[in-house]
Structure 1
Amino acid sequence: MTAPAPSYEVRALAGLPEIAPGDDLARLIADAAPDLRDGDVLLVTSKIVSKAEGRIVAADSREAAIDAETVRVVARRGTLRIVENRQGLVMAAAGVDASNTAAGTVLLLPEDPDASARALRAGLARLLSVDVGVIVTDTFGRPWRNGLTDVAIGAAGVRVLDDLRGGTDAHGNPLTATVTATADELAAAGDLVKGKATGCPVAVVRGLGHVLGEGAGRDLVRAPADDMFRLGTSEAVREAVTQRRTVRAFTDEPVDPGAVRRAVAAAVTAPAPHHTTPWRFVLLESEAARTKLLDAMRDAWIADLERDGKSAESIAKRIRRGDVLRRAPYLVVPCLVTDGAHHYGHARRDAAEREMFVVAMGAGVQNFLVALAGERLGSAWVSSTMFCRDVVREVLGLPADWDPMGAVAVGHAAGAPAERPAREASAFIEVR
């Protein structure tokens, strides 16, 4: 006998009054749905939860309310802001709503949507002796997709994620990445019957009792470390610039050569004089190449320090301080070439010409360091190769007109870098 095809029922709940601060929302839902059964799932629009919890605030400006609820700006375009709010949700306008509320007021999201869902579930269990799931929903836009849909922002008694990894599909292929957002699918189904202007802020799903279980809305929020799209374009650039730090301790994790090459591609977009391309990047990807260069540089440095009359103890201390390059799993030697430079036969003008190329080199290396930070790689730009350029050129087999401009240690940071002291831009600005 053929098994019946899976099916479920979703219906809007009629009969709820206008919700006011202090209302017992569980009681009102129980009165409107005395026929709730074990295994049902309630989909409750966050607006009525917020109203019952008194999350209505006076606001002269919705923008000011958004500011107060924002933890981090993810992206901004004109007046539209996508932000991370106090609940950890990334959404437009922090979830602050000026609709369905009196003039001069705005509606904030529930302070803790998961706690709200737990309270509703417990209240319905007490009033109707039923075991139901509760999902608090809100309307979201989505990256890469037009239109809005309801998603789960809080949950209780529902397995919000269905992890299918380790299983197989109908053809026996292994499932290695499939984790279904069950709670979001339920929220969207409920919105089909609730609508936005029907006065039916609650829906009931029946026939999917297997989705009941442990879960919370916060389980649906992707961890920052796993979020490849945590920032908008301009915000990502700004964060890479402002969050770049000099890293002096690295893990043993290997560096992706492709990431370094992408950083070089960013480096060579820097401005340069006379439409020249004065940057060259020597990538030391083998341990043998790094060791050979660093040993030769160390010997040259020791010889210089001995000529300066430094003691053995002082020399050893200086050598240890320069060991950041040895601790890195990857080294890059940026070099300056001045092909295309103008020669004036005048010392001051020729010196200024070289300075222009050096500035362009600095701009290229800064691009390089920022791009590495965007690849989640730490770096330290160390000047040591500039003091023994002949040695570096000989060891690496570089042309005589390539000037090594320091070395960049690259790797995965062994820990969080120290906080940089706050710098007020105004301290560095003069206006005329």
Structure 2
Amino acid sequence: MSGQDAGAPAYRVWALPGIGEVRAGDDLAKLIAAAEPGLVDGDVLLVTSKIVSKAEGRIMEAADREAAIDAETVRVVARRGTLRIVENRQGLVMAAAGVDASNTPAGTVLLLPQDPDASARAIRDGLRDTLGVEVGVVVTDTFGRPWRSGLTDVAIGAAGVRVLDDLRGGTDAYGNPLSATVVATADELAAAGDLVKGKASGLPVAVVRGLAHVVVPAGDGEPDGARAMVRGAADDMFRLGTSEAVREALNLRRTVREFTDDPVDPGAVRRAVAAAVTAPAPHHTTPWRFVLLESAESRTRLLDAMRDAWIADLRRDGRDEESIARRVRRGDVLREAPYLVVPCLVTEGSHHYGDERRDTAEREMFVVAAGAGVQNFLVALAGERLGSAWVSSTMFCRDVVREVLGLPAGWDPLGAVAVGRAAGEPKERAPRDPEDFLTVR
């Protein structure tokens, strides 16, 4: 091997000619075996999803490709004009749900295989039966990538291949610990195959030889398929496009009343406050203040004083002790939260007119602005994956709150916000028809 160390790692990749046009019902394993009867143990087959879809009859008549995309979409991630990035039925986030109008007769579209991992297993099993070889199979499709121009092939289905190479816990050449390195082996194989298959050369299958270590022999258990490479929602830091994220963030803001014991990142709360103070306000004022109760002692001292004031109010109302205990328990959501925030209204800069009508309207204008700030705060917390419950209780004992927390006389508490990691998924909220809340003139 001229110019290459004979002992250096190397592999060979080549495309298979002779596959021909694939039709519904064709046995891909037999077609591949006929095109390359010399396959050996440890080879990896890279199979374009288009021929898998054709063999599995995933062709549909569709005069309107957009309607087909709608049918295959479970979630819109981003939309720019007619271009849609969506999550499809296979859990893949990609353009147009993988619905393809190329290399298929006019008036039809190709859908991705229903279960690409199962498709890969079928091809692998078929090659074992036909040629008696143990190979890996990767079903590939073309993807764009965030922050990168251009397209490449990635793995959407796999069988007999270690799709991920987890290097965490090891060290690099300098002895530094590897704490985040997980290599997408199946995607690297798919891209290597794309270099020889091309996009329009009619070569839908490639073979990689020399990387037998990524192939799992029969009897060692079937490794995870390519589905294991799809990042879950909880770990996806970029789940939504910009405009979609704005709308979804409002829906993420849900009242949470049960929290885990996980500590709350004070930095996340401060970032939420930064979002809060972008709310509109009258007369170029800043009517928001946020008191952060980060110590258990400060939370307990405030809640005990508020409880005593509430009990005194309820006794003056003539409530019996059982009724009082029941009502006081409603405040447990604040006690059980690992973090409390008391938003306050300040009316510095407000105008004074000297008549009740305009002075009342002026204060209400400031209250509305403060409420907008609190809403911003709650939405931003949701964006930080923090649950919250905005409870009105501090508004009913403002003097007590100001005294316990040492707040200025001009700060009016606007409830308390319980903050923490939600102990479970909130219940589904029934959609509301906006028409029920509209009056058009």
Q: TM-score range by the shorter chain?
A: over 0.9
Matched, 1:228 2:251: no
Cα deviation 1:289-335 (Å, max 9, x = unaligned)? 11111111111111111112111111111111122111111110000
Match of 2:165 among 162, 165, 170: 162
Match of 2:110 in 1: 107
Q: Which runs of 4+ in 1 moved over 3 A?
A: none
Taking the TM superposition and a 5 Å limit, the aligned residue runs for 1:258-407 are: 258-407=267-416
Deviation at 1:158, TM superposition (A): 0.6
One-letter identity of the residue aligned with 1:176 = S
One-letter identity of the residue aligned with 1:258 = G
Match of 1:15 in 2: 18
Cα distance in 1 for residues equivalent to 2:155 and 2:212? 17
Match of 1:424 in 2: 433
Cα distance in 2 for residues equivalent to 1:330 and 1:171? 42
Cα distance in 1 for residues equivalent to 2:251 and 2:232? 22
Matched, 1:136 2:136: no
Q: TM-score when scaled to structure 1?
A: 0.98
Cα distance in 1 for residues equivalent to 2:192 and 2:280? 53
Cα deviation 1:199-230 (Å, max 9, x = unaligned)? 11110101111110223111111111111111
Matched, 1:256 2:286: no
- Percent identity (aligned): 81
Cα deviation 1:331-386 (Å, max 9, x = unaligned)? 10000011111111111011111111011011000000111111111111111111
Cα distance in 2 for residues equivalent to 1:217 and 1:177? 20
One-letter identity of the residue aligned with 2:264 = V
Cα distance in 1 for residues equivalent to 2:140 and 2:107? 24
Which segment is superposed worse, 164-173 or 117-126?
Answer: 164-173
Cα distance in 2 for residues equivalent to 1:325 and 1:167? 44
Q: What count of residue pairs does the alignment treat as equivalent?
A: 431
One-letter identity of the residue aligned with 2:143 = F
SS at match of 2:328: helix
Matched, 1:151 2:154: yes
Match of 1:186 in 2: 189
List alignment gaps of at least 5 residues for structure 2: 217-222
Taking the TM superposition and a 5 Å limit, the aligned residue runs for 1:51-70 are: 51-70=54-73
List alignment gaps of at least 5 residues for structure 1: none
Cα deviation 1:154-212 (Å, max 9, x = unaligned)? 00111111111111111221111111110100000000000011111110101111110
Taking the TM superposition and a 5 Å limit, the aligned residue runs for 1:36-115 are: 36-115=39-118
Cα distance in 2 for residues equivalent to 1:188 and 1:152? 9
Taking the TM superposition and a 5 Å limit, the aligned residue runs for 1:207-218 are: 207-213=210-216, 214-218=223-227
Match of 2:122 among 119, 125, 137: 119
Cα distance in 2 for residues equivalent to 1:321 and 1:413? 18
Cα distance in 2 for residues equivalent to 1:420 and 1:260? 25
One-letter identity of the residue aligned with 1:325 = L
One-letter identity of the residue aligned with 2:350 = A
Cα distance in 2 for residues equivalent to 1:171 and 1:56? 52
Q: TM-score when scaled to structure 2?
A: 0.96
One-letter identity of the residue aligned with 2:160 = G
Which segment is superposed worse, 44-53 or 221-230?
Answer: 221-230
Taking the TM superposition and a 5 Å limit, the aligned residue runs for 1:27-42 are: 27-42=30-45
Structure 1 vs Structure 2 CA RMSD: 1.1
Cα distance in 2 for residues equivalent to 1:4 and 1:227? 40
Cα distance in 1 for residues equivalent to 2:248 and 2:104? 36
